[in-house]
Amino acid sequence: MPSLLKVLGISFGVIVVVGVVVGSITWAVLATRPLPPPELKPLDWWENTIIYQIYPRSFKDSDGDGIGDIQGIISKLDHLVEAGVGAIWMSPIFVSPMVDFGYDISDFYNIQTEYGTMADFEELVEKAHNLGIKIILDYVPNHASTDSEYFKKSVDREPGYENYFIWADPIITNTSDRQVPSNWISQFGGSVWEWNEQRQQYYLHQFAIEQADFNFREPAVRNEMLNIMKFWFEKGADGYRLDALPHLFEANPNDHNGTYPDEPLSGDMFVRPDQAGYTTQVHVRDQIELYDVVYEWREVADRWTEANETDTKILLAEAYANISMTMLYYGDENNRTGAHFPFNFDFITSLSASSNARDFVYTILRWLTYMPRGNVANWVFGNHDQNRVPSRFRPNMMDGLNSLNMMLPGVAITYQGEEIGMRDGYVSWEDTVDVAACNQGNPDNYLEFSRDPARTPYQWDNTTSAGFSTNATTWLPVGLDYMELNLQAQREAERSHFKVYQALTQLRKEPALSHGEYHIESLTANTLILVRHLRTYDTYALVFNVGQEQDVVDLSTVSLLRDPLTVYISSIHSNRNIDDTIPLEGSLTLTAGEALVLRGSPT
Ligand code: NOJ
Ligand code: MG
């Protein structure tokens, strides 16, 4: 039978050749045609936002009393928009005798008069929301001021309030007078136990004497906390930063024959017997029961969001704890979820001016390694409890550190002033007001404990009180360097920390940053590289010399980088300018602290 091919006059050999040729062309075309850009999964509002912490007392004073206030914040919302932040977290603005500057709340449902009124708060929420800025409040569940109605009623043993706080009988032996129930030491020094004459019992306080710890084993307390949470949700708060969570519970006397067990001594020779850390704190921190409470709050917040069809209400856990106890705040192995994230304090607790690039890489990867799958990372560089960033590290590292903050995956957190590189203020012993320092009663080492230097007023410009207040006297003195170091000067300068910060907050919108993969490694002992990349989109890489000397690196070994590489952002002392080309081959010399954000072609 004559084959069809023969009839058509084409030999089999020709068919094969043509087939192979056509096939190869198709293959070649397919292989070189770029794949479509990856789909960018829509993110919830908080998942890659920038949260800016405001310490209200020190941000902006609108009425000349030398104390920051809510109208002051409203008057500076334009700064937050210019800076490019997505949310503000305000340290407590509720009624308080201010022993711990607002962390001792006496009325959880009202605004401290020196900060403003409920109407001011409502105005702030409305104006911020109109500008696309979310409002996160500080939630202080662990303790209340001894001035609060809760505490007074508990002292009076008013029905329903008897067990609102942790009350304990004294220990009396036939050889001694009244003694405290255990050797536990408060975070601010001295015993956690304070005698109350009227009740003839001790109450427990893990912080100042005026901050009595709630009893979280009392259902009425748990319930009241939920009421407070919902109250401010209703007022428009978009979430909470949850204060001092490791301290929510202490060892349960029911597990210890009805007594409060003493803690073993830590053996730390540098800690005095009346200072926290003298004992191991095994009975006063990280008690496992506390996580149930956090998971319950998350459920309540989620249910509230759902029922009211609002944007997600977020919960951020403040916990200085080891990595495992910290990660439990995200949730547990039984699919219970907790905070949207616990603050990542690693840049505060694990890194300092003496860290090298390997320390940085190791510390960063530690968080990303331990974080349970599907969660969002976050990066904290400073807050109102810690020395400011340029003082803890070095001033020439400010831009590099802000770059890390903005370029690492997840949420970036900025403490007010970091965008302009504010340093610790100088506060003399006479001017010191922080209870943590005053309690030491010792002018010799107060600076070791004082949080005042991180709380001096924001430096807006070079006028009276740095533009913070029209009053020449402010609640804490203005930093001595405000004439040179202030926002106004940095807005006008050609290069400044603020301009770098603005460029970084814009950069975060790039797909490689919002959705991309990360790669981080140390190129040398002192220089690290962080690459953010996402197929078909431009790649961005941070090269940062964290050391104190010039360093030479070789980028050609970083396989994710593609020519041409250009400078996208450079730290203020760098002599490289935007759009300078950086050759991939050859060596790159970086001065101490120099940070470059490079843009490269897609990988
Ligand atoms: C943590 C807060 O950040 C700090 O300022 C405060 O003193 C303690 N919690 C007690 O509320
Ligand atoms: Mg004021």
CA distance 100 to 33: 63
DSSP assigned state of 246? G
Q: Which amino acid is at 57?
A: R
Distance of CA 117 to the CA centre of its chain: 27
The closest of 421, 378, 425 to 401, measured between CA atoms, is 421
Task: Tell which atom from ligand 1 comes closest to the C-alpha of 244.
Answer: 9
Is the distance from CB of 571 to CB of 427 less than 8 angstroms? no
Q: Which ligand is nearest to the CA of 186?
A: 1
Q: What average pLDDT is seen over the chain? A: 95
DSSP assigned state of 507? H
DSSP assigned state of 399? H
- Using CA atoms, how far residue 137 sits from 96, 427, 545, in Å, is 15, 28, 36
- Using CA atoms, how far residue 490 sits from 61, 416, 568, in Å, is 21, 15, 19
Ligand 1 pocket residue status of 244, Cβ below 6 Å = yes
Three-class SS of residue 265?
Answer: strand
Q: Using the mean position of ligand 1's atoms as its centre, give its distance from the Cα of residue 104 in Å.
A: 9
- Using CA atoms, how far residue 370 sits from 294, 332, 350, 363, 446, in Å, is 19, 13, 15, 11, 36
Task: Tell which atom from ligand 1 comes closest to the C-alpha of 207.
Answer: 10
Domain residue spans of the chain: 143-213+254-281, 504-600
Q: Which amino acid is at 211?
A: Q
Q: Which tens digit of pLDDT belongs to each residue from 6-18? A: 444 445 555 555 5
Task: Say what the pLDDT of residue 11 is.
Answer: 53
CA distance 376 to 109: 31
CA distance 371 to 400: 24
Q: Using the mean position of ligand 2's atoms as its centre, give its distance from the Cα of residue 159 in Å.
A: 39
Task: Say what the pLDDT of residue 140 is.
Answer: 98
Examine the residue annotation and report whether 158 is marked as an active-site residue of this protein.
no
Task: Say what the pLDDT of residue 1 is.
Answer: 44
Q: Which tens digit of pLDDT belongs to each residue from 182-200? A: 999 999 999 999 999 999 9
Ligand 1 pocket residue status of 276, Cβ below 6 Å = no
Q: Which amino acid is at 406?
A: M
CA distance 120 to 126: 10
Residue with structure tokens 């850390």? Answer: 277
Q: Which amino acid is at 51?
A: I
Q: Which ligand is nearest to the CA of 439?
A: 1
CA distance 144 to 107: 9
Nearest CA to ligand 1 atom 3: 385
Longest dimension (CA), the chain: 121
Task: Tell which atom from ligand 1 comes closest to the C-alpha of 318.
Answer: 1
Q: Which ligand is nearest to the CA of 62?
A: 2
Architecture of domain 504-600: Sandwich (2.60)
Strand partners, 193: 204
CA distance 396 to 510: 26
Angle CA(284)–CA(286)–CA(288) in degrees, nearest 5? 115
Q: Using the mean position of ligand 2's atoms as its centre, give its distance from the Cα of residue 190 in Å.
A: 33
Is the distance from CB of 434 to CB of 390 less than 8 angstroms? no
Taking the CB of residue 469, how many other CB atoms lie within 10 A of it?
Answer: 25
Three-class SS of residue 472?
Answer: coil
Q: Which uninterrupted H or E stretch holds 87?
A: strand 87-90
Strand partners, 249: none
Residue with structure tokens 């996208």? Answer: 568
The closest of 434, 446, 423 to 103, measured between CA atoms, is 434
Q: Using the mean position of ligand 2's atoms as its centre, give its distance from the Cα of residue 37 in Å.
A: 51
Nearest CA to ligand 1 atom 11: 103
Ligand 1 pocket residue status of 103, Cβ below 6 Å = yes
Q: Which residues contact 525 (CB under 8 A, 6 or more apart)?
A: 356, 357, 358, 547
Ligand 1 pocket residue status of 144, Cβ below 6 Å = no
CA distance 520 to 526: 13
Say if 143-213+254-281 and 504-600 have the same CATH topology: no
Is the distance from CB of 427 to CB of 453 less than 8 angstroms? yes
Q: Which tens digit of pLDDT belongs to each residue from 321-365? A: 999 999 999 999 999 999 999 999 999 999 999 999 999 999 999
- Using CA atoms, how far residue 520 sits from 23, 83, 437, 444, 561, in Å, is 41, 26, 39, 42, 12
Q: Which residues contact 60 (CB under 8 A, 6 or more apart)?
A: 68, 69, 72, 73, 75, 76, 458, 460, 468
Homologous superfamily of domain range 143-213+254-281? Oligo-1,6-glucosidase; Domain 2 (3.90.400.10)
Ligand 1 pocket residue status of 435, Cβ below 6 Å = no
For the four alpha carbons of 471, 473, 477 and 481, in that order, the dihedral sign comes to positive
Determine which one of 61, 120, 213, 243 is catalytic.
243
Nearest CA to ligand 1 atom 6: 103
Examine the residue annotation and report whether 243 is marked as an active-site residue of this protein.
yes
- Using CA atoms, how far residue 56 sits from 66, 522, 539, in Å, is 12, 39, 38
Distance of CA 282 to the CA centre of its chain: 25
CA distance 86 to 257: 51
Q: Which two tokens stand for residue 544?
A: 């940062």
pTM: 0.94
**Could you tell me the strand order of the sheet in which 50-54 lies?**
341-342, 314-317, 239-242, 134-139, 87-90, 50-54, 411-415, 378-380
Q: Which tens digit of pLDDT belongs to each residue from 394-432? A: 999 999 999 999 999 999 999 999 999 999 999 999 999
Q: Which two tokens stand for residue 477?
A: 């003195």
Give the chain's residues under pLDDT 50: 1-10
CA distance 67 to 457: 9
CA distance 515 to 178: 61
Ligand 1 pocket residue status of 343, Cβ below 6 Å = no
